[in-house]
Amino acid sequence: METIRSERRQLVIGLWPAIRWVAITIWIAAFGPCHSVSNAQVSPGYQVTVVHATTERVEGSAFDPAQPEGSKLVVELFRSPIEANPFPLDAATADMEGPDNGQRAATVGFRFTVAGKGLKAGDNVLIRAYSPDRSRFTTSGTIAIGSADQTATQDAVSHDYQVTISRATPERIVGSAFDPGDPEGPKLAVELFRVPFDPNLGPMDAASADMSDPQFIGSSLGSVGFSFYVAGKGLRVGDEVLVRAYSPDRSRFRTSGIATVQASTDAPAAPPSAAPAAPPSAAPTAASSPTAPAPWVSPATQSCREGPIWQRIVNRQYPSVFQAWTSAESINDNVTGQKSAISGNDEQWLAKHDLIWHSPTFFGLEWNNSHALLATDFTAASKSAFQAKLARLRGYNPNMTILAEIRFHDAWNEDLPEDSPWWAKDSGGKRIVAWQQGAKVLYSLDYGSQQLLQQIALQAKAATEAGFDGVFLDWWNWPQQNEKELLKAIRDNMDPCKLVIVNSGNQVLNEYPYPDIDQKPLINGLFMEGFGDPTWGQSWTDWRTVANNLTWAEANLRPPHIVAVEGVYTWDNPLKRADYKRMRWVTTLQLTHSDGFVLFGDANGLTVDHMHDLYPFWTDKSLGKLSGQKVSRDDGAFSRDYEKGTAVFNPPDNKAVTVQFAEERASAATGRRSTRFELDAGDGDLYIK
């Protein structure tokens, strides 16, 4: 975020996982002799429940839907609200292979016990359950500690639905759905969709998973949930489908993974207890599976494929580097270690970046009002000068994507009159300070105001019509009530081929409900800011969080995708921007796990935020264009082939690996040519043909 970080942000980020309830998964009984889906398409995420919390101990259960009878989950106890840099009070293991699996009647999963360690009656706590490699985690609800002889009054159970497809044939789709908030209560409406989606089409079929009818309870070993049946209605072998489960009032929902329709050996009739159909919905839907193809391929986005924005994105060379506001400071030779200041033609150096966002005024545009947020367009003279600037930049880099930052969360003092109703104000009528550093002050905006919302959308339209490829929205990792309305207003006023990129910060996207189902078709991509900065939370120093986020974004958001990862060094790193090893592994993490962009530089607050150098490792564009997909190597590393070479990422918690080729390659890290290379843990390299 542009020179913005505060304790308030850390508090919000910390609080959000604590209030999420996480559910119990489902597994379904089979119906008739047919080929089932090879791997049941289960809603992702662990489930963790606190059932007993006293000053002596905290007990509960944890469950891994991907491995219901395998592995161990690490569970950790935290005070709630959780801090920005949390340390657990105690830790234990929920053993999926142990004898204590799910013996408590009210729970499903595998039990754990952690010690209270100084807790008092009335303290609030929560539990996090991690995978053994800590690549995934989920958080229980908050629960109050009772006295030593009194269990807490309310279980902290999850609140997400779970929905699973267990069989998919041309005749029928069979699965189960489960509402952990009311496990013996209402009916869930389930709807079947073909993949990829047209957002203007409704479901192929609909039915109910009846929580109150005992005939619907999954009866096969290990299954939990309530069965549903929907008709294939013209499906063919090889088609891809998914199912969404809604609450009765349609206020909540969950989407299964994508299942491929398999051939049936027999086509038995529908189960006699199949529920009546639910009303169809025209709403678009999305796959929860992080590896699913992006579903929003509407006629509007299809028509953009041959347009200049899409073509610039898909035709660029790799590695692709981006600029987040602040320009590069130096040329930093990652082979020789020599560093030289950037001088000369600023535009030529700017065009070394394949993606950039900044305020319109950075590019020389002038709003047509002295109060920037009251402007409706740019002056004619500044628009002409900007379009000439764009032509020069694209002369240096034809595939450069250029975005305008549109402010919606906060603004400078001079951007609005002091008495404007668009400022957010406290109970005393004073403007709320969003961020302050010395004399520089940003004040919060009341973007719940419909008038302000429409004005922001109007400015986004003005920016894109002036020539920007799209808009960038900062502070998006503070979910607010009106974000959906803001996105819709921007999209309604803007060319559908233009881009919308948002700052997701350090959110764990496959756990955090962001963006919700109505935002996903409107957003093209994410800025993952400050990866590696421990002040952003423990998960944001783990490479797996970024890897999962990259995969999630390119599977779920609107194409074409713009996914930008910023890795940083921290204040105690003596190498600073000369930490070439860290620069390389952040770069190759991005290259092996996404089609996106990378940046490595200063953590917020160390210098000017997002200050960075340019490395030949990036600017040589030695890999050329994309040509292959991610490969998970047997030795724990990851690789991906490109037109002119191969990128290899070796995670920091792996061992050193040997990389071997049939033909001689050149290392971009050292310049050495060979057919065999050693790659340390926490490093990456490009091996050029």
Task: Give the model's pLDDT for residue 480.
Answer: 58
Instruction: Compute the CA torsion angle 153, 157, 161, 163 (nearest 10 deg).
Output: -130
CA 613 vs. chain centroid, Å, equals 27
Residue 94 maps to a domain = yes
| DSSP helix/strand/coil, 638 | strand
Contacts of 105 (CB under 8 A, 6+ apart): none
- Element (DSSP H or E) covering residue 614: strand 612-614
Report the DSSP beta bridge partners of residue 331. Answer: 340, 614
- Check residue 207 and give its pLDDT: 61
Tell me if 83 is assigned to some domain. yes
Mean pLDDT, residues 255-263 taken together: 72
Give the residue, 663 or 56, on which the prediction is more confident: 663
How high is the mean pLDDT of the chain? 74
Within-domain flag for 49: yes
- The set of residues, in sequence order, having a beta carbon less than 8 Å from that of 650 and lying 6+ positions away, is 585, 636, 637, 656, 657, 679, 680, 681, 682, 683, 684
Q: Are 540 and 530 spatial neighbours (Cβ–Cβ below 8 Å)?
A: yes
pLDDT given at position 263: 77
In angstroms, rounded to a whole number, what is the distance separating the alpha carbons of residues 549 and 318?
Answer: 20
**Model confidence pLDDT, tens digit, residues 272-323:** 222 222 222 222 222 222 233 333 344 456 678 889 999 999 999 999 999 9
| pLDDT average, residue stretch 684-688 | 98
**Strand pairing of 187-195 and 205-210?**
antiparallel
Q: Is residue 137 part of a domain?
A: yes
> Does residue 56 form part of some domain?
yes
Identify whether 162 is part of a domain.
no
Total tally of structural domains belonging to the chain: 1
How far apart, in whole angstroms, are the C-alpha atoms of residue 319 and residue 672?
A: 19
Residue 99 lies in a domain: yes
When mean pLDDT is compared over 32-41, 47-56, 226-235, 455-464, the highest value belongs to 455-464
Cα torsion at 409, 414, 417, 423 (round to 10°)?
20
Whole-number Å distance between alpha carbons of 162 and 283: 19
More confident residue, 649 or 8: 649
What are the pLDDT digits (tens) for 577-599? 999 999 999 999 999 999 999 99
For the chain, helix, strand, coil in percent to 5 are 20, 30, 50
d(CA 598, CA 591): 8
Range of the domain at 119: 7-23+44-144
User: Which of 367, 366, 617, 404 shows the shortest CA–CA distance to 499?
Assistant: 404
CATH code, domain with 79? 2.60.40.10
Handedness of CA 189, 192, 196, 202 (dihedral sign): negative
| CA-wise closest residue to 2 among 586, 285, 412, 493 | 412
Question: What percent of the chain clears pLDDT 90, i.e. is strictly above it?
Answer: 40
Q: Is residue 180 part of a domain?
A: no
- Distance, CA of 301 to CA of 200 (rounded, Å): 13
Which of 546, 575, 612, 557 lies closest to 322, judged by CA? Answer: 612
pTM comes to: 0.61
The span from the CA of 348 to the CA of 392, in Å, is 9
Cα separation, 21 vs 139, in Å, equals 7
Torsion angle, alpha carbons of 285, 357, 355, 494, to 10: 40
C-beta of residue 673 within 8 angstroms of C-beta of residue 666: yes
Give tens-digit pLDDT for 550-563. Answer: 988 887 788 899 99
Convert the pLDDT of each residue in 1-53 to its tens digit. 544 433 333 333 333 333 222 222 222 222 222 222 333 343 345 566 666 77
- Rounded Cα distance between 294 and 195, Å, is 9
Closest CA to 669 of 661, 660, 680: 680
